[in-house]
Amino acid sequence: MLRKSLLALVLVAQGVTAQVWPDHLVWSERLVDDVRANGLRGNWTNADSGIELNRYGGSFGETYVRVRGWGGETVSENYSRCASYLTLLFNKVYGWSSTPSTGSASPYAYQYNHLIKNAVGAQGEPFAKVVDFRTVLPGDVLAVDYVVPPVSGEATGHIFQVRRVDWDNATFDADTQQTTYPVHVLDCSSSRHDDDTRVFPGVTTQGVGRGWIAITTDSDGNIVSHRWRISSGDTYTQAERHVAIGRFAGQAFSFLPLAGTVGFDANVGAGEAEVTVRVTQGGSTWTLPGFTDAEGNLRVWGPLAPGLYDVAAKGPNSLRHSVPNVLVGAEGATGLAFALVLGDVNGDNSVNIADFLRLRAAFGSSAGQLAYDFEADLNRDGSVGIPDFLILRSNFGRSGD
């Protein structure tokens, strides 16, 4: 049987510099990954309560943020607004007993904006003000004040967490001497950004998610305007909607990142793929959930001490690929390369008749139909058909690490 060369599929590591993400972003990532993974499977609600896993809204007293593995939580779910999300997150991650400006309730986004805008670097201030956007870091907060006195019921601002800036694709306008940066943000929102994780085939959800916005600066890195999406929508100047950049002053760095690339032996749809990373050292095992981005880059975080680990990756329907003796340093590890072979529909780490039978049962179905089986849709194109069967056949009989 002809088999595709796996070596050709191992992508070269991107040479990404290790950068430790603060804990509030790490937990936010896990929450978004979990609700995204559940959504892709059509699991929208908590099996016990029947309540939607990801929602936007609520007054502060009734809102909550729960992340699997966090304080004994077994399900990741969210019910909050943009500012209350940040407050609930910081309450839990950094043990805020009350909030900076209003005591027991959550500040509004515009109050976060004022808190950051007026920061002078004094001891005890929760945020340091970042003036030059070009020095922004993952986990920094963009707090927006909608300035115009709010009509009752309308938003008064918004809060973004910065994930990363696509520095390579910034555009420079020679006339204005301004630069516009694509910025990947994580937020709790009722409307979507570009390439938004709250969008599923046929369904657009609200709550926590990721997407792209645009920030424009002058030649000194001062923000002059922003846009909710890169591709479209209104541009707001600082006078119209002021953006302040805040860096949480007391952030703890207790997680180390493991970064690298994942290649599959077939195109995986939607430009992203769920990957579970298993880290082992002696008798200890850590299971770290993650998602690749559209380019196959993967980054997960574990409560790891520097040392030598075996690191393995597995998709929900791929075989596991293990990389032994990975040296995790004080800033984590980069350059991991995983080649994942698809076809393991039932997740038992081998491709055999059991997987074929499940694929056959779903054959001809599409997402949204009763017979559709997410795990059997090996190439993630939204239907189970011949291409999936060919992938399974080409890997039949193989087992993972």
- Pairing relation of β-strands 203-204 and 207-217? unpaired
Coil vs helix vs strand at 352: coil
Mind giving me the DSSP string for 189-217? ESS--BT-TTEETTEE--EEEEEEEEEEE
If one asks whether residue 140 binds Ca ion (CB under 5 A), the answer comes out as no
Phi/psi at 327 (nearest 5 deg)? -85, 115
Site size toward Ca ion (CB under 5 A) is 9
DSSP type of residue 118: T
Measured at the CA of 37, the angle between CA 84 and CA 185, to 5 degrees, comes to 45
Report the nearest approach of Ca ion to the CB of residue 2 (Å).
21
Report d(CA 336, CA 262) in Å as an integer: 8
For Ca ion, the closer of residues 295 and 348 by Cβ is: 348
Residue 266: CB minimum distance to Ca ion, A: 9
Question: Nearest distance from residue 275's CB to Ca ion, in Å?
Answer: 17
Tell me which residues in 342-381 interact with Ca ion (CB under 5 A): 344, 346, 348, 350, 355, 377, 379, 381
Q: Under a CB-based contact definition with an 8 Å cutoff, are residues 221 and 132 in contact?
A: yes
Q: Is 72 helix (H, G, I), strand (E, B) or coil?
A: coil
Kindly state the smallest distance separating residue 255's Cβ from Ca ion, in Å.
32
- Binding to Ca ion in span 316-345, by CB under 5 A: 344
Residue 293 vs 355, nearer CB to Ca ion: 355
Nearest distance from residue 386's CB to Ca ion, in Å?
9
Looking at 2-107, list the stretches that DSSP marks H as alpha helix, in order from N- to C-terminal side.
23-40, 82-94
- For Ca ion, the closer CB: 224 or 362: 362
Task: Give percent helix, percent strand, percent coil of the chain, each to the nearest 5.
Answer: 20, 35, 45
Using CB under 5 A, pick the residue from 33, 272, 293, 388 that binds Ca ion.
Answer: 388
Nearer to Ca ion, 281 or 346 (CB): 346
Comparison of 70 and 389: residue with beta carbon closer to Ca ion = 389
Counting every residue, how long is the chain? 401
Between 329 and 347, CB nearer to Ca ion: 347
The pair of structure tokens assigned to 11 is 């992508």
Smaller CB separation from Ca ion, 208 or 376: 376
Residue 378 CB, shortest distance to Ca ion, in Å, is 6
Q: Pick out residues in 106-125 that bind Ca ion (CB under 5 A).
A: none
Q: Which is nearer to Ca ion, 156 or 365 (CB)?
A: 365
Question: What is the closest distance, in whole angstroms, from the C-beta atom of residue 277 to Ca ion in the complex?
Answer: 20
Cα separation, 107 vs 91, in Å, equals: 12
401: which 2 tokens?
């690490």
> What does DSSP say about strands 242-248 and 141-145: parallel, antiparallel, or unpaired?
antiparallel
State the minimum distance, in angstroms, from the CB of residue 350 to Ca ion. Answer: 5
3-class DSSP state of 376:
helix
By the criterion CB under 5 A, which residues form the site for Ca ion?
A: 344, 346, 348, 350, 355, 377, 379, 381, 388
